Chain A
Amino acid sequence: MGYNLSMRLWRGDVDGGSLADFTVEVEEGEVVLDAIHRVQATQAGDLAVRWNCKAGKCGSCSAEINGRPKLMCMTRLSEYDQSETITVTPLRTFPVIKDLVTDVSFNYEKAKEVPAFAPTAPDADGKRRMSQVDVERGQEFRKCIECFLCQDTCHVVRDHEENKPAFAGPRFFLRYAELDMHPLDTNDRRKLAQSAAGLSMCNITKCCTEVCPEHIKITDNAIIPMKERVVDRKYDPLVWLGSKIFRRDQREEV
């Protein structure tokens, strides 16, 4: 049945702010975003919060709930004791715009740096054939809803603003891996992933994997295989020699 929930919500803007206390009536079966919407409708009409689908599919309502990066729409109130105060703060890795809304343009800038998909020629009949098992590797990464929780929790940028220019972050390592494993793609993005995207700065602490609401194995299935492929070519003299002599690797480097 319904009860009164205590919430502490961060309110403020780029010039600063603080936690504000709210008490709001909530119902059984509600999520954190429901409680925030009720605060908005009844107590603070200008409380800024991003959301779209409320079903864990669009990745808009990312925030830190009791210090943990989560989607507000996927965090059930029943996960907490009814007497507990739930604290919601904006993503720490990105600059605050207002209240719970942050400026995530960093991610959109990094997206522009990923070289586009470049497919092989189609089969003679004009169709393209791929096997299910091959597409499934990339499909795992394409489940990404761009909530940027992985970016938020990644300590390479979370506490080191200065790393941002050189580091694209886990969301974009997923993107590089997805293109690299795409059965039809012709580009070789290993060098770029290593240099421009800063893959080498990742020291595989798996924080990104832990917070991914889509349960994508970002570290194990994308980052580590990418790192291995970079190392494989860059540092193995036999592979290097082989590719020089036999031109084994015909893929164009970008």
Chain B
Amino acid sequence: MSTVEPRNTGERHSYDVVVVGAGGAGLRAAIAAHDAGARTAIVCKSLLGKAHTVMAEGGIAAAMGNAWPEDNWKVHFRDTMRGGKMLNNWRMAQLHAQEAPDRVLELEEWGALFDRTNDGLISQRDFGGHRYARLAHVGDRTGLEMIRTLQQRAVALGIDVFMECTITEILKDGDRVAGAFGYWRESGRLITFEAPSVVLATGGIGKSFKVTSNSWEYTGDGHALAVRAGASLINMEFVQFHPTGMVWPPSVRGILVTESVRGDGGVLKNSEGRRFMFDYIPDFFKAETADSIEEADRWYTDKKNNRRPPELLPRDEVARAINSEVKAGRGTPHGGIYLDIASRRDPEYIMRRLPSMYHQFKELADVDITKEPMEIGPTCHYVMGGVEVDPDTAVSIVPGLYAAGEVAGGMHGSNRLGGNSLSDLLVFGRRAGLNAAYYAARTHDAPVTVDEDAVVAAADAALAPFSEEGGENPYSVQKDLQEVMHTLVGIIRTAEELEQALGEIEKLAERSRHLTVEGNRQYNPGWHLAIDLQNMLWVSECIAKAALTRTESRGGHTRDDYPMTDQDWGTKNIVLRRHDDSVELAIQPLPQMPAELKALFEEK
């Protein structure tokens, strides 16, 4: 029973489409839904324009062929599938590769100012796992350009935005979506949206880990909302550790150092000064990776006749290699590895190509990257797993519930290539918004009704942390969860540790049922965390359970006790659903790729 105040769930809004999240996917979805004629609202936890998309640095992967006429969607598709170790939903990877160039051009149409090639077209830069220079970019602040362009477009279209408003529950009408329930951060007042379509665009889960590049919002809200609403999650075991996060000073531990540093000539060295990546080239990528320093160095100036440096292998390979070097005692004083561009490029080049990185290291670490190497190490960056969706429409198994961007699963398989997330946000953000609008129009004859008991229940759940005295501090529980996930469900996993993690998560979940927050409902971060924590715990359990089940190593999932990739697992998805109050796990076959796409992998 809440003793705070009567449950005034009074504020109500009615829309056709409610988009939860205002990063790249959410904004693009809202624009698409609006343009399709739907009454559309955007609801976001932070101020508009602050979503994690601003942190994306390198660029948007799109086979536009501006730098390499040989590039096309088929090559991009092939790279994406190979990067994901063939576990990607082939149809999503296909749509993504086909539509990305149009989505980039559309941003330009809305005012984005991309860097240019010599003949005035959108410049494209190199990134790990991409065969050709393919990333449309703006220096190293592409995400900011993207979110600003979409934000300004949404504002110009007059789309309603509910800022600093958190959704805590998806509301249902029988089996289908009826709306969403949440609260305003500013006042703590409760708010109900009635809508036949809800698009989840809530991003990732990184805040469950201790070292992460993610902002505070990444608490797995969308993943948890979807599961609670009856949707399924796939392949939650695949968590990407970006190889290059800052490791020093402590205040910036985990903050991203863009892959562009390597694309633009940066190399990785251990404490002995050795370019160790040559020791870690897997057979799968041997044919296209340089095996000598000489060839790797020649590649930067002559990409046609040389193979790519091993520093540009996909992220999972590089992260594992760094982890091994540090473990072998060849790390830096602060437990990382050196990323060196200073000895390879002149200061003017570094300042022009990587201005934000220069700025970031200078101001946060007092390191001048034009003169010194950077100390870097793996950081939790991205979750490949997510809500299981139909590739073409982005709808989940719950009618009216859509998911796009990081919260959706399937697109990236077991490992995401750099640059593919920004294009993913645009391609599937648009598809989710459009289809949510079409679906909403189809429900006009049979309007949805919000279940009032569910609204009251959601209000009670949201206010519960105020009703208990003498319970735990949510900040302590969060800290302990981050420690558990970091040490037991991190970059290298074993059955024993995962089982231990599940036990710990269960204990944390029990502790989280007795949280106490101080103060009142007005802008109260302790209360907000108490609510977010429930989602973090759900998602952490899903990750650990799936990781324990997948007895192989592949992409973002490395099992010390099963170090090899297992062909048999290469045909299976792990699907998670809610059953009563626990997570239920099932194995599901991967969708079959049609013959004409399969043929792309047989060509050389």
User: What's the Cα separation between A146 and B50 when bound, in Å?
Assistant: 9
Say yes or no: A45 contacts B474, CB within 8 Å: yes
Q: Which residues of B contact A215 (CB under 8 A)?
A: 359
Say yes or no: B475 contacts A98, CB within 8 Å: no
User: What's the Cα separation between A127 and B251 when bound, in Å?
Assistant: 44
Q: Which residues of B contact A41 (CB under 8 A)?
A: 473, 475-476, 479
Given contacts A60-B46, A132-B116, A146-B49, contact A52 B215 (CB under 8 A): yes
Say yes or no: A129 contacts B113, CB within 8 Å: no
Say yes or no: A55 contacts B523, CB within 8 Å: no
Q: Which residues of B contact A83 (CB under 8 A)?
A: none
User: What's the Cα separation between A13 and B187 when bound, in Å?
Assistant: 11
Say yes or no: A139 contacts B46, CB within 8 Å: no
Say yes or no: B111 contacts A27, CB within 8 Å: no
Minimum CB–CB distance from A2 to chain B (whole Å) comes to: 10
Say yes or no: B525 contacts A57, CB within 8 Å: no
User: Which listed segment binds A: B144-152, B386-394, B560-568?
Assistant: B144-152
Q: Which residues of B contact A103 (CB under 8 A)?
A: 186
Q: Which residues of A contact B116 (CB under 8 A)?
A: 129-132, 135
- The contact of B475 among A45, A117, A131, by CB within 8 Å, is A45
Interface residues of A in 13-35 (CB under 8 A from B): 13, 27-31, 33-34
Judge if A247 is at the interface, Cβ distance under 8 Å. Answer: no
Interface residues of A in 57-109 (CB under 8 A from B): 57-60, 73-74, 76, 97-99, 101, 103-104, 108
Interface residue tally of chain A, by bracket?
35 or more
Judge if A53 is at the interface, Cβ distance under 8 Å. Answer: yes
Say yes or no: A29 contacts B251, CB within 8 Å: yes
User: What's the Cα separation between A215 and B355 when bound, in Å?
Assistant: 11
Judge if B54 is at the interface, Cβ distance under 8 Å. Answer: yes
Nearest CB to that of B153 among chain A residues? Answer: A116
Nearest CB to that of A28 among chain B residues? Answer: B249
User: What's the Cα separation between A58 and B148 when bound, in Å?
Assistant: 11
Q: Please tell me the number of chain B residues within 8 Å of chain A, measured between CB atoms.
A: 66
Q: Which residues of A contact B153 (CB under 8 A)?
A: 116
Say yes or no: A139 contacts B120, CB within 8 Å: no
Minimum CB–CB distance from B62 to chain A (whole Å) comes to: 14
User: What's the Cα separation between A215 and B105 when bound, in Å?
Assistant: 29
Q: Which residues of B contact A179 (CB under 8 A)?
A: 111
User: What's the Cα separation between A44 and B47 when bound, in Å?
Assistant: 23
Given contacts A98-B522, A129-B121, A132-B116, contact A55 B148 (CB under 8 A): no
User: What's the Cα separation between A116 and B141 when bound, in Å?
Assistant: 22
User: What's the Cα separation between A130 and B251 when bound, in Å?
Assistant: 40
Judge if A182 is at the interface, Cβ distance under 8 Å. Answer: yes
Minimum CB–CB distance from B52 to chain A (whole Å) comes to: 7
Judge if B119 is at the interface, Cβ distance under 8 Å. Answer: yes
Nearest CB to that of A146 among chain B residues? Answer: B49
Q: Which residues of B contact A42 (CB under 8 A)?
A: 475
Given contacts A13-B522, A51-B216, contact A129 B120 (CB under 8 A): yes
Q: Which residues of B contact A76 (CB under 8 A)?
A: 251, 363-364, 366
Say yes or no: B139 contacts A57, CB within 8 Å: no
Given contacts A58-B54, A182-B111, contact A48 B524 (CB under 8 A): yes
Q: Which residues of A contact B181 (CB under 8 A)?
A: none
Q: Which residues of A contact B517 (CB under 8 A)?
A: 45-46
Contact with A along B473-508 (1 / 0, CB 8 A): 111100100000000000000000000000000000
Judge if A244 is at the interface, Cβ distance under 8 Å. Answer: no
User: What's the Cα separation between A111 and B255 when bound, in Å?
Assistant: 30
What are 28 sample pairs from A and B whose C-beta atoms fall under 8 A apart? A29-B248, A29-B249, A30-B249, A31-B364, A40-B475, A45-B518, A46-B518, A46-B525, A48-B522, A52-B51, A52-B217, A54-B252, A55-B255, A55-B364, A56-B363, A58-B55, A59-B50, A104-B47, A116-B152, A117-B111, A117-B152, A129-B120, A131-B120, A132-B116, A132-B123, A143-B141, A143-B144, A146-B50
Report which A residues bind B (CB closer than 8 A). Answer: 13, 27-31, 33-34, 40-42, 44-60, 73-74, 76, 97-99, 101, 103-104, 108, 111-112, 114, 116-117, 119, 127-132, 135, 138-139, 142-146, 179, 182, 185, 215
Complex A-B, nearest 6 residue pairs according to Cβ-Cβ distance, in ascending order: A29-B249, A46-B519, A129-B120, A45-B526, A117-B111, A116-B156
